[in-house]
Amino acid sequence: MINLVLPESLEKMRSDIKAIAFSLLRPIARKYDEAEHVTPVELEVLRRRPSEGKKNKKDKKTPPEKDTGMLPSTNLATIIALEEMCWGDVPLTSSIPGYGIGNAAIAAVGTEEQKEKFGGKYTAFAITEPGAGSDTGSLVTTAVLDGDEWVLNGEKIFVSAAERCEAIVVWATIDPSAGKAGIKSFIVEKGTPGLTLDHLERKMGFKASDTGAFVIKDCRIPRENILGDPEIKKSKTEGFRGVMKTFDNTRPIVATQSVGVSRAALDFTKEKIEEDGVRLDYNQSPNSLSSVEKEYYLMEAHLEAMRLLIWRAAWMADNDQFNTLEASMSKAKAGRYGTLITQKCCDILGPLGFSEEYLPEKWMRDAKVMDIFEGTGQIQHLIVARNIMKLSSRELR
């Protein structure tokens, strides 16, 4: 079972990272919300160096933490650190040089050679197309093997880190007639002929993160740049599972972003209502609580549920357990309630939640995207239902 007592090392890490979020991210959050597409130069101090992307071969031999008996938790540690950074600012956290969402794909299904070569690069993740969003099985970008090279053709939209990345993980089909079994992912380095950044998007929120669209025309990459098995499996489920493993890693990450911004909104709301004389007392009877207190306690309960679902999914990944159900549960819960919590905080704050003098209105705009990207909430509910009911995508649409 998951141990809910964090080891001392993770607690210290959490405290240290919150200090960085408070001193570095929070002060410039509004600046880059207003200056969309401007590179946050202040984040260069956090850039990951190439050596950090290399796999530590001693990880499997590292002894358990002394105070818990738990094995070192790479995914759980990432989740805990990310929550603190996103408490500072979500889009700025997503803009830290060297930490693209494509790096999670390489970590999930890349070979040791690919992790060594590309693990230190700032890697974007390109899956969405004009005609294929949450239904990843319907994408039409193609990859054709020509000698020792793959030739890619297609279009990708809503790619995070589109302008600032150094490489991109591109999803494409190597055989359209094979359906999902033919879908693979490929590493394309920025600057490769045939890969063109068409434009950057202007968005409601999440503005510090550069989001753009790529046109891919006769783009040639080395044969070894395919992620995972190049063979098309007879079983569609088996063939697609390796690709979808990426989402099992990234969905808890997106869910954690929602927890971070929701917690920021709750902390600010608590500060302001206490300034107005409301004293939160957890020992009071529910019948004696004010409307504001009830709303606040309910939001806190949802926040804790979001966090525990994410921790469970991350813990399972660290212990090599199949976590598709748990990853989608965490994403569905956090995406939905992150939106609701930030909205409700703005309701409670009144004019303070509407004014650009403070950050809650920004947090509300930023939170919405967490219910959309990496698979919408509706898609997550479908995945959860299919896993619980043991039904295929064809049987339950």
Total structural domains in the chain? 3
Q: Do residues 345 and 264 both lie within one domain?
A: yes
Token pair, residue 9, equals 């090392």
Is the C-alpha dihedral spanning 316, 123, 182, 148 positive or negative?
negative
**Residue-range definition of the domain harbouring residue 376:** 236-389
The pLDDT value recorded for residue 55 is 46
- Map tokens 């950074």 to a residue: 85
Say whether both 68 and 184 belong to one domain: no
Question: CATH number of the domain that 383 lies in?
Answer: 1.20.140.10
pLDDT band, residue 60 (cuts 50/70/90): very low
pLDDT in tens, 191-217: 999 999 999 999 999 999 999 999 999
pLDDT band at 245 (very low <50, low <70, confident <90, very high): confident
213 lies in the same domain as 294: no
Please give the share of the chain, as a percent, with pLDDT higher than 70: 89
**Among positive and negative, which fits the CA dihedral 83, 207, 217, 373?**
positive
The CATH number assigned to the domain holding 18 equals 1.10.540.10
Determine, yes or no, domain membership for 146: yes
pLDDT band with cut points at 50, 70 and 90 for residue 68: very low
Burial 24-41 (b: 16+ CB within 10 A, else e): bbbebbeebbeebeeebe
Q: Are residues 254 and 200 in the same domain?
A: no
Question: Do 150 and 276 share a domain, yes or no?
Answer: no
pLDDT at 31: 97
Residues 217 and 240 in one domain: no
Is 44 assigned a catalytic role? no
pLDDT band at 87 (very low <50, low <70, confident <90, very high): very high
Q: Using DSSP, state whether 216 is helix, strand or coil.
A: strand
User: Residues 276, 383: one domain?
Assistant: yes
Whether the pLDDT of residue 287 is over 90: the answer is no
Residue tagged active-site, from 83, 166, 326, 374: 374
263 CA to centre of own chain = 17
The DSSP call for residue 187 is E
Residue finishing a domain among 227, 244, 262: 227
Beta bridge partners of 145: 150
Q: Based on the number of CB atoms within 10 Å of its own CB, is 151 exposed (0-12), middle (13-18) or buried (19 or more)?
A: middle
- SS3 sequence of 113-177: HHHHHHCCCCEEEECCECCECCCHHHCCCEEEEECCEEEEEEEEEEEECCCCCCEEEEEEECCHH
Is the model's pLDDT at 59 over the cut of 60?
Answer: no
Residue 362 placed within a domain: yes
383 and 243 co-located in one domain:
yes
Pair (280, 307) in one structural domain? yes
Boundary residue ending a domain (106, 131, 162) = 106
Written as six digits, the tokens of 357 are 């003098």
Q: Quote the CA–CA distance of 69 and 74 in Å, as a whole number.
A: 15
pLDDT digits (tens, 9 = 90+) for 90-112: 999 999 988 888 888 898 889 99
Q: How far apart are CA 377 and CA 119, in angstroms?
A: 30
Q: Residue 366 class from Cβ within 10 Å (0-12 exposed, 13-18 middle, 19+ buried)?
A: buried
Q: Do 184 and 100 fall within a single domain?
A: no
| Residue 130 belongs to some domain of the structure | yes
Answer yes or no: is 397 within a domain. Answer: no
| Band of pLDDT at residue 249, cut at 50, 70 and 90 | confident
Same domain, 156 and 282: no
Secondary structure of 51-81 in HEC code, one letter for each residue = HHHCCCCCHHHCCCCCCCCCCCCHHHHHHHH
- Per-residue confidence (pLDDT) for residue 69, from 0 to 100: 44
Boundary-marking domain end, from 106, 136, 153: 106
Tokens of 264: 């920021």
In a domain? residue 396: no
**Is 223 domain-assigned?**
yes
User: pTM for the complete prediction?
Assistant: 0.88
pLDDT band at 250 (very low <50, low <70, confident <90, very high): confident
DSSP alpha helix (H) spans, 276-350:
291-318, 324-349
